[in-house]
Each structure stands twice: as structure tokens, then as C-alpha cells.
């Protein structure tokens, strides 16, 4: 069981997510508004499903493919992941 020290910080999760969204949207990370809908940034329907694979590879956490649908902004996904990582 991982202890609390292995749980990444909220800031680290958010920055990693911003980097991933910036990668798919092909834009500079500092132009990704963490409160913007990721669908508006170009991660539409089936394409938003990419994020679940990235999350699984990065955090070793199995999440629903619809993660980016149910938590539609970087900040919403960050809050969700923080909760999941804290509970495992």
C-alpha cells in the first residue's frame, strides 16, 4: 500500500494534466485555462477518452474512459484524481 507521501500534490496533478491537454491541443501549456472545458480546447467526444490511458500510465490508477466527460475541466479532473489517489 502506498503511503500518503507517494500521492502527488494537487499542483503536480494539475500541471501534468495541463501538459497533456496542451499536447493534444497543440498549444502552449500556459494557454490552457484549468477552468476551461477540455472539449472547447479540442478534446471532443471519443478523443477525450485518450486521457484515461494517460492517467492510468502516469498514476497506475484505473479510471473510467469517460473521465474527461464527467469531469470536464483540468481542475475538475484534478479534484477527482486527488480524491481517488488519496483513497487507494
Least separation in angstroms between CB 62 and another protein: 9
Sort 38 into a burial class: Cβ within 10 Å, 0-12 / 13-18 / 19+: buried
Output 42 or 60, the one with its CB closest to another protein: 42
Rounded CA-CA distance 45/57 in Å is 21
Residue 60 neighbours by CB under 8 Å, 6+ apart: none
Output 10 or 27, the one with its CB closest to another protein: 27
Q: Which residues bind another protein (CB under 8 A)?
A: 23-26, 37, 39-40, 42-50, 52-53, 56, 65-66, 69-70, 72
Output 31 or 66, the one with its CB closest to another protein: 66
Amino acid at each position: 500500500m502506498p503511503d500518503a507521501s507517494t500521492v502527488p500534490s494537487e499542483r503536480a496533478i494539475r500541471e501534468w494534466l495541463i501538459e497533456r491537454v496542451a499536447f493534444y491541443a497543440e498549444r502552449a501549456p500556459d494557454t490552457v485555462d484549468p477552468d476551461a472545458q477540455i472539449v472547447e480546447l479540442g478534446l471532443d467526444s471519443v478523443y477525450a477518452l485518450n486521457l484515461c490511458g494517460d492517467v492510468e500510465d502516469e498514476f497506475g490508477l484505473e479510471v473510467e474512459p469517460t473521465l474527461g466527460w464527467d469531469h470536464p475541466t483540468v481542475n475538475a479532473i484534478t479534484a477527482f484524481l486527488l480524491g481517488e489517489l488519496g483513497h487507494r
